[in-house]
Amino acid sequence: MAPVNLTEAELSTLSAKAIEAKAAAYCPYSHFRVGASLLTEDGTYFIGANVENASYPVGICAEKNAIGTAVTAGHKSFRAVAVASDIIPGTSPCGSCRQFMRQFCPPSLPIYMYGTDGKYVMKTMGELLPDSFGPEDLEKNR
Ligand code: THU
């Protein structure tokens, strides 16, 4: 499938960064490496990887680390997300990550999921989290 709103070069960079980010995963319990990358509206890339904890539920997913890093660096508008794992097809974001991403990602934003074979499946934010609850819903009650 062709990129929705990215050039081939942008998608190539985004995928390379997500795949490279797997090397930074700290996953001594699951041994399930996940890397994530983001492309911001102004053309900056951010990465994240999963970081686990001896108290298992405390661990943080790759997507959350990437988004948190970008947001704390002042970037809140994104064009695309990529997630890379060592399975085929590539893992899709967990439910908690979908909601976390939804805060900053519009329903049309593409999420590229890379398997260890380098191939991807693309779904939009709206496909991964339909009928979602977002920050604009809170505004309706003010
Ligand atoms: N994981 C992610 O980082 N992102 C996801 O969307 C799926 C799951 C991580 C969490 C945990 O460190 C490992 O994968 C196994 O669940």
pLDDT, tens digit, for every residue of 22-52? 999 999 999 999 999 999 999 999 999 999 9
- Ligand 1 near 27 CB (within 6 A): yes
How is 28-40 classified by DSSP, letter by letter?
TTT---EEEEEEE
- pTM for the model stands at 0.95
Is residue 3 pLDDT above 70, yes or no? no
State which residues form the domain around 101.
8-139
**Average pLDDT of the chain to the nearest whole number:** 96
Is residue 123 pLDDT above 70, yes or no? yes
Q: In this structure, what CATH number is given to the domain that contains residue 51?
A: 3.40.140.10
Question: Is 34 annotated to bind ligand?
Answer: no
**Residue 64 domain-assigned?**
yes
Torsional sign, CA 114, 95, 6, 104:
negative
Tell me how many domains the chain contains. 1
**Residue 1 domain-assigned?**
no
- Ligand 1 near 32 CB (within 6 A): yes
Span 50-100, pLDDT tens digits: 999 999 999 999 999 999 999 999 999 999 999 999 999 999 999 999 999
Give the pLDDT score at 141. Answer: 87
